[in-house]
Amino acid sequence: MTRIKLLLALLSASTLTACAAAAPGPDLRGQFAVGSAWGSNRSAYGQFLAGQAALLNGSNAQAATYFDEARQLDEDPGVLADRAFTAALLAGDVQRAAAIAPRGADANEQVRRLGVLTRVVDLMASGKGRDAQTLLKTETLGFPHRPAAVLLAPWLAAAAGDNADAVTRPELQGDRFVQFFGQLSQARLYERAKRYDEAETDYKALMAIENARGLFVEDYGAFLERRKRQADAVALYDAALARDPDDQGLRMARDRAAARGPAPALPTDKQGAAHMLVACAATFASERQSQFGLAYLRLALRLDPKRDDAWLLVGDLLAQDDDTAGAREAYAKVAPTSARYVAAQSKLAWSYQTGGDKEKAVALAQQAAVAAPKDRDAQITYADLLRANERWAESAAALDPLIAGEGDKPDWRLLYMRGVALERAGRWTDAERDLLTAIKLSPDEPDLLNYLGYSWIDRGVHLPEAIAMVQKAVDARPLSGAMLDSLGWGYYRQGDYQTAVTKLEQAVELEPGDPDVNGHLGDAYWRIGRQIEARYQWQRVLSLEPDAKQKAEAEAKLKNGLGGPPAKMASSQ
């Protein structure tokens, strides 16, 4: 689990005070009302409308251009200045945003505060640490930026050469988020000052926090590596990997320490400040204040353009906002040498898959799998995309090395994935073996029970055992239309048509748009003599975008029924 995920999980459990209050924050793109300042300047108004449309479509960079042009054209550009600043910042043009940040008394107060923070960060990024420190001390930043201002203070002090303030731990009364990340900053700056014992005291204090230690393991491990204590670092990483064996970052750190490779360098002033901003951005994201989260990430990347976790989160936020091009650009920024490369490539690949470019999606996933042959997530993503594109045999083959590498007790989920792929590829004997092994490893998993149970039912074999499996799945998930369909189809195969109708009617209520479920109900109706309703269900199948097989079967039933006389007409009909 990445540190960003750990932070989000920690925040979602309400264990920390977030950078902003829990109430939803304002949408930075839409908070400014259109005033009456446009007069007869139709050109400025047109640029404003174009910018508004671009912003609502997630095209932040294009919106920034429109708003800035409108701002320059209009005689009273107050509202436009707010919009131009916000759009430039969300688009990642921090220098431009800092230059036009609203400063006057008439500016929207919330935007003005963000503008101050933007100017502070841009000054620091430009090598003007003392000016940045002075500006932050001059301007008191309140909600929701106070935590960020407090956490940036020691790094600004370090950039300004103020060594005393640099090692002063940031504090904000009652805010555990600031407490934790302030202690991390102090540990790093103590280490820079060669006050190693005090630095380690801080790191150990962070490791003692039960539900937060995972956020800081790599930081403490890097400290140990820099102190030439590789054995201690390996032990620390091993303990963390025992809790989270799939964390690629921890795995890479452990391998580096074990090989006595070069230790990670201490973060620079800019990198340390960027870390604090990314942490704050994650809190905003956890509070569903995505525009503030994106703004903070843009600021962090102004300080540290190669920060991969920030690019990954930028991509996620832009994808949520339907800015597909922006999200792809962000994911593509993650370097192949990064521990987050596989995650980025996976998100990039799925972006192309959902966008309809399936060949590109599979190609990207394949590249990641080849580049990281030992990375479990990379191989699973590749297999999953092959499955999504109905390349069943290739999907199963992609899973073979993973399953073989896990020995006698492979992950049941991998066996389930491969079993599905093999079944769809027409290799039922191999598929059944995988599914049976998976059930032995996880006998209560509803999806697994339902898949094997339905596969047996559809083939007309092991019916009592199959129905018992599916019933167990339904008991676990009584609102699953798919599982109720499997159960109803099991009773149908046994010849208990009345019970089949009862279960299949429940399934159709839950899954009204599924061609198979509607077709099964039609078959059951026919068997109890309800021909009109049976034909209605088969006709409905044709209206639900069936595949070629479903369409052919429904058309044949509408023409010929089920090949034999139905049962006597039910009295209810």
Per-domain boundaries in the chain: 1-25+150-285, 26-143, 444-573
8 Å CB contact between 244 and 250: yes
Bond before 546 cis per omega within 30 degrees: no
* 3 state SS for 476-502: HCCCCHHHHHHHHHHHHHHCCHHHHHH
Instruction: For residue 343, count CB atoms less than 10 angstroms from its CB and return exposed for 0-12, middle for 13-18, buried for 19 or more.
Output: buried
Residue 51: the pLDDT is: 63
pLDDT tens-digit series, residues 526-539: 999 999 999 999 99
159 HSE (CA, 13 A, CB side): 27
Measured CA to CA, the distance from residue 204 to residue 202 in angstroms comes to 5
Residue 237: the pLDDT is: 96
pLDDT tens-digit series, residues 434-446: 999 999 999 999 9
**Amino acid (1-letter code) at residue 307:** R
8 Å CB contact between 289 and 270: no
Residue 181: the pLDDT is: 95
8 Å CB contact between 131 and 144: no
Dihedral angle computed from the Cα positions of residues 333, 338, 342 and 345, in that order, rounded to the nearest 10 degrees: 10
Measured CA to CA, the distance from residue 366 to residue 562 in angstroms comes to 45
What six digits make up the tokens of 425? Answer: 């590829």
Whether domain 26-143 has CATH 3.30.1490: the reply is: no
Measured CA to CA, the distance from residue 133 to residue 183 in angstroms comes to 20
Strand ranges for 22-83 from DSSP E: none
pLDDT tens-digit series, residues 162-180: 999 999 998 888 889 999 9
Measured CA to CA, the distance from residue 129 to residue 146 in angstroms comes to 19
The residue length of the chain stands at 573
Residue 14: the pLDDT is: 34
Measured CA to CA, the distance from residue 128 to residue 123 in angstroms comes to 5
Q: Low-confidence residues of the chain, pLDDT below 70? A: 1-79, 563-573
444-573 shares the fold of 26-143: yes
CATH class of 444-573: mainly alpha
**Helical (H) or strand (E) element with 401:** helix 392-405
Residue 18: the pLDDT is: 37
**Phi and psi of 260, rounded to 5°?**
55, 40
8 Å CB contact between 11 and 286: yes
